[in-house]
Amino acid sequence: MAEVIFLLLGGLDLYESLCITFGTVATGGFSVRNTSLSTFSPYLQYVVAVFMFMSATSYVIYYLIINRDFKKIRDNDEFWFYIFFVTASVVFVTLVLHFTVENDFTTAFRHSFFQVVAQITTTGFATTDYMKWPEIGWAFMFLLLFAGGCTGSTTGGIKMARHLLTFKNIRGVLLRLFHPNVIIPVKLNNRIVPDNLNIMVLLFIFIFILIVIGGGFTLAISGIPINEAIAASASAMSNVGPGLGASGNMGNYAHYNRFAIVLLPILMIVGRLEVFTFLAIFSRSFWKI
């Protein structure tokens, strides 16, 4: 309701405001226009970007705000890592655009903020064609396909908590190289993460990336250019939408062959079910009454 009101204040009619809001809060990214949000005013683009960011925030945070439990918000590692990750990504892309594409810093920041948030939150809206950016720009946007928002939100992707646990594990391994006898428990939200859960998180990321690579090479064999195939596979698994090349954020998948158009929805389902649920279908125990 809040986003609809802000969009109405920006000049959109009720129909467009409702459609864009549904696409934002559900991080679906469907626009009523072929050019996505590129023809919208800067005000409207900022409104949608802010609500995309909010929609990718764990809904547990909003529950804690309502209950005024600010201590748990302060201790929520994933939430603060999400803010840091988005901020660092926006700063990096803004600098890339400002020194290569956009002379106007405010325009560079607006496009950076919107596209980074759209990619991380797996929404997929667009204000500009990132395939026209320098290689380092669209290559970075490719990496963001794997990001995902917070757990407990409407986003797809790997999710921030899993990335954070991975970094914590890497830090622990590096410390053990210099201090072999040190005991470093992996903690999240001031709680020790059990070894079995920790292993499951790492296994999830490994399988996720393995499926992306397998899907990408399968698409490439069917005739899709390799860079576009890998990006399409990653985009489908993370439920983002845009990939690279002709299927970038200002493109589509209409030119893909029939095999690819069948495979990509399967990858979308696997990604949305977060791998393990899908793999469980193939186990005997799943079918036992």
* Residue 216 and residue 275 in contact, taking contact as beta carbons nearer than 8 Å: no
pTM, entire model: 0.92
What's residue 3's pLDDT? 97
Give the ranges where 56-132 is alpha helix by DSSP (H): 59-66, 70-74, 77-100, 105-120
Q: Is pLDDT of 288 > 80?
A: no
The half-sphere exposure of 76 on its side-chain side, counting CA atoms within 13 A, is 23
Q: What mean pLDDT, rounded, does the chain reach? A: 93
Mind listing the pLDDT tens digit for each residue in 87-124? 999 999 999 999 998 778 999 999 999 999 999 999 99
- Render pLDDT for 212-224 as a digit per residue (tens, 0 to 9): 999 999 999 999 9
Which stretch of 108-117, 126-135, 165-174, 215-224 has the lowest confidence by average pLDDT? 165-174
Strand-pairing partners, residue 34, are: none
For residue 64, pLDDT over 90 is answered with yes
CA distance 126 to 79: 25
Res 289 pLDDT > 70: no
Q: What percent of the chain has pLDDT over 70?
A: 100
Sign of CA dihedral 225, 220, 123, 11: positive
How does 13-22 read in b/e, with b if 16+ C-beta sit within 10 Å? eeebbbbbbe
What are the phi and psi torsion angles at 192 (to 5°)? -70, 130
Which tens digits make up the pLDDT trace of 197-244? 889 999 999 999 999 999 999 999 999 999 999 999 999 999 999 999
29: DSSP letter: -
* Spatial separation of the C-alpha atoms in residues 165 and 114, rounded to whole Å: 27
The residues that bridge with 192 in the sheet, in sequence order, are 187
Residues 240/122, Cβ–Cβ less than 8 Å: yes
- Residue 276 is predicted with a pLDDT of 87
Measure the CA–CA gap between 276 and 280, rounded to whole angstroms: 6
Residue 278 has what pLDDT? 86
Asked whether the beta carbons of 3 and 52 are under 8 A apart, the reply is no
pLDDT value, residue 285: 79
Give the pLDDT band (50/70/90) at residue 174: confident
Give the chain's end-to-end CA distance (angstroms, integer).
Answer: 44
Q: Are 34 and 124 contacting, i.e. CB atoms less than 8 angstroms apart?
A: no
Q: What average pLDDT does range 186-204 have in this prediction?
A: 88
Is residue 23 pLDDT above 80, yes or no? Answer: yes
